[in-house]
């Protein structure tokens, strides 16, 4: 038996033969420069061809993996026209007689190296995106076709690392799982694998040897384990996991059309998180009962300038109308920290997670906020829209948001524009501050929604973007769960509902704890709806306890 362990980045257990990815050779041509003007023309042609290809990939990603995946390729296309990147390539052509291929390689190396040297693991992972863009441009200049796999059966694809475009362009019918020597859970390839529901493990290092090509292995995308030639007990364990996985998939399908209630009749709203109106199709396919988080920032992150009121209105209206009367909670602009839009010209901050982000930007830039609120209220005439404000820490912030809403409503009244005057207003509970003043906040709004990723980050003083922190970032920490209980108690005291829209909402091992705490709604990715419903319907709410909120000895927690 041979055992390897990496970092599981996309859940699922599979068995199959390893096939190493065949990347096309793309060594930079050493032919003589045709002259600066001629090389500039070649470079412009390569830019145009690359942008066209990336736009096509964005559409493919939208169909296969949703709007968040499409955003990746739209961002790649935007980077090709980035002023600094273009200036770097032009300077190479002017300052030394090199080819367009050489200029692209030089700029790609400089920018990817700059990102790789940053302290932020998320930004380090973006270095692979820059290399992917540069490789595409070089391939177009040299007429090189992307590589791939040539097999007659489904395989577990292995590679040193995979670029996002390589991942997307593979025939998914031939891929059982992904194994890579490098990469991280923050890489876009890992994100794509999760979105497409393909098990993946990264960080296997040199243990993943090309000599294994063709060997049959078992892999567990949750634990990060890969086993060749398993012994009897290990084989039995993997086969049992596969059997349970098949049973769970069949059970999930049987949940369509069933009510979201516990065994003893307590209802729980099971909603979905989405990134764009196109994701509503996945909500409907998985029988989601509403949308608990519509991330409106996708409109800003995919634009080269502030999106107009009409552009936003069309997106919000499309989602609201498609949900046919079911609640659609739309979060107002939430950028800053790891989500940046260049045209906002946000200042560089030593600690952006504690800086100008989310509602702080909106309250500092009232015209940007007003434009979004007008679009949201206009869309409320076409469905059950609720508006949610992120990163709230103080009562005065909520009151400022409500005043901005009243001003927009007065404008729409004066213009004779229809909207729902009773549109619900809610806030995200993401900081210890919002938990500690939750009773006062609850008297100001219609609902709470807890963002558990940020709540964990700020409660534990633990950067959620850092892979190095590992076990220290613990969303199941008693302090985080107690914060949830404090917020839930405050919400119910004020007669409002409380939900969870962070990743923790889909953790089935915490379902009983959430019910005991008094959570009213869980908002998860569309693919998690049916498994959550199945677990809910076999759980007795009356039997649920708050044991997990109690601090335990370190040995017991292990």
- Active site residues per annotation: 188, 501
What is the C-alpha separation between 181 and 205, in angstroms, rounded?
A: 4
Structure tokens at 172: 């998914």
Query: What Rg do the C-alpha atoms of the chain give, in angstroms?
Result: 25
What is the C-alpha separation between 220 and 200, in angstroms, rounded?
A: 8
Cα distance between the two ends of the chain: 27
- Residue 277: closest CA among 70, 528, 501, 54: 70
- Residue 161: closest CA among 192, 184, 194: 184
Structure tokens at 338: 């790891």
Torsion angle, alpha carbons of 350, 356, 358, 362, to 10: -160
Beta strands in 160-215 (DSSP E): 175-180, 200-202
Kindly give the pairing relationship between strand 2-5 and strand 225-228: antiparallel
For residues 483 and 435, the answer to whether their CB atoms sit within 8 Å is: yes
Q: Is 24 helix (H, G, I), strand (E, B) or coil?
A: coil
Residue 42: CB atoms within 10 A of its CB come to 18
164-190 core/surface letters (b: 16 or more CB in 10 A; e: else): bbbbbebeeebbbbbbbbbbbbbbbbb
State the Cα angle at 428 between 360 and 345, rounded to 5°.
25
- Distance, C-alpha 555 to centroid of its chain: 33
For residues 180 and 161, the answer to whether their CB atoms sit within 8 Å is: yes
Residue with tokens 């370190």: 554
Structure tokens at 73: 């390729």
What is the C-alpha separation between 392 and 188, in angstroms, rounded?
A: 29
Element (H, E) at 40: helix 36-65
Query: Strand 216-220's sheet: what is its strand order?
Result: 2-5, 225-228, 216-220, 13-20, 155-159, 175-180, 200-202, 7-10
Q: Would residue 158 be called left, alpha or beta, if left means φ above 0 and alpha means ψ between -120 and 50 degrees?
A: beta
Residue 396: CB atoms within 10 A of its CB come to 9
Residue with tokens 């995946």: 69
- Residue 357: closest CA among 384, 323, 393: 393
For residues 291 and 328, the answer to whether their CB atoms sit within 8 Å is: yes
CB neighbour list of residue 79: distance below 8 Å, 6 or more residues apart: 85, 129, 130, 133
Q: Is 315 helix (H, G, I), strand (E, B) or coil?
A: helix
């Amino acid at each position: 038996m041979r055992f390897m362990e990496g970092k599981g980045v996309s859940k699922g257990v599979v068995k199959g033969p390893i096939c190493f990815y065949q990347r096309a050779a793309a060594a930079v041509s050493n032919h003589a420069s045709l002259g600066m003007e001629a090389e500039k023309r070649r470079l412009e042609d390569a830019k145009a061809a690359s942008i066209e290809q990336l736009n096509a990939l964005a559409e493919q990603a939208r169909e296969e993996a949703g709007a968040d995946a499409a955003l990746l390729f739209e961002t790649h296309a935007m980077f090709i026209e980035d002023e600094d990147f273009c200036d770097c390539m032009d300077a190479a052509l002017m300052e030394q007689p090199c080819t367009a291929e050489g200029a692209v390689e030089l700029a790609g190396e400089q920018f990817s190296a700059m990102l790789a040297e940053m302290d932020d693991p998320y930004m380090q992972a973006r270095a692979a995106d820059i290399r992917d863009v540069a490789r595409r441009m070089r391939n177009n200049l040299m007429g090189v076709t992307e590589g791939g796999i040539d097999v007659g059966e489904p395989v577990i694809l292995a590679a040193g690392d995979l670029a996002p475009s390589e991942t997307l362009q593979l025939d998914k019918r031939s891929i059982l799982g992904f194994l890579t020597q490098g990469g991280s859970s923050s890489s876009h390839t890992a994100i794509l694998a999760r979105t497409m529901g393909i098990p993946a493990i990264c960080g296997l290092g040199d243990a993943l040897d090309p000599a294994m090509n063709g060997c049959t292995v078992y892999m567990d995308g949750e634990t990060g384990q890969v086993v060749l030639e398993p012994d009897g007990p290990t084989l039995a364990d993997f086969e049992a996991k596969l059997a349970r996985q098949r049973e769970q998939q069949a059970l999930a399908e049987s949940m369509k059309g069933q009510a979201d209630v516990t065994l003893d009749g307590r209802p729980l709203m099971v909603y979905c998180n989405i990134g764009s109106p196109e994701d509503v199709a996945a909500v409907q396919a998985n029988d989601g009962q509403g949308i608990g988080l519509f991330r409106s920032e996708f409109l800003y992150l995919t634009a080269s300038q502030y999106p107009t009121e009409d552009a936003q209105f069309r997106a919000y209206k499309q989602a609201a109308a498609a949900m046919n009367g079911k609640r659609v909670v739309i979060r107002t602009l939430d950028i800053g920290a790891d989500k940046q839009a260049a045209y906002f010209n946000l200042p560089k901050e030593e600690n952006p997670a504690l800086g100008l982000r989310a509602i702080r930007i909106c309250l500092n830039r009232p015209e940007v906020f007003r434009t979004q609120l007008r679009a949201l209220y206009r869309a409320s005439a076409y469905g059950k829209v609720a508006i949610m404000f992120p990163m709230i820490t103080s009562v005065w912030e909520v009151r400022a948001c409500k005043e901005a809403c009243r001003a927009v409503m007065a404008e729409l009244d004066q213009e004779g524009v229809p909207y729902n005057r009773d549109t619900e207003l809610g806030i995200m509970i993401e900081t210890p501050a919002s938990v500690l003043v939750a009773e006062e906040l609850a008297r100001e709004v219609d609902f709470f929604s807890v963002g558990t990723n940020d709540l964990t980050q700020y409660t534990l003083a633990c950067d959620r973007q850092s892979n190095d922190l590992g076990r220290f970032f613990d969303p199941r920490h008693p302090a985080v769960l107690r914060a949830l209980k404090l917020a839930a108690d405050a919400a119910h005291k004020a007669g409002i509902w409380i939900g969870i829209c962070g990743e923790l909402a889909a953790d089935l091992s915490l379902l009983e704890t959430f019910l005991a705490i008094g959570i009213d709604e869980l908002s998860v990715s569309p693919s998690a709806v049916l498994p959550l419903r199945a677990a809910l319907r076999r759980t007795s709410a009356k039997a649920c306890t708050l044991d997990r909120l109690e601090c335990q000895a370190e040995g017991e927690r292990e």
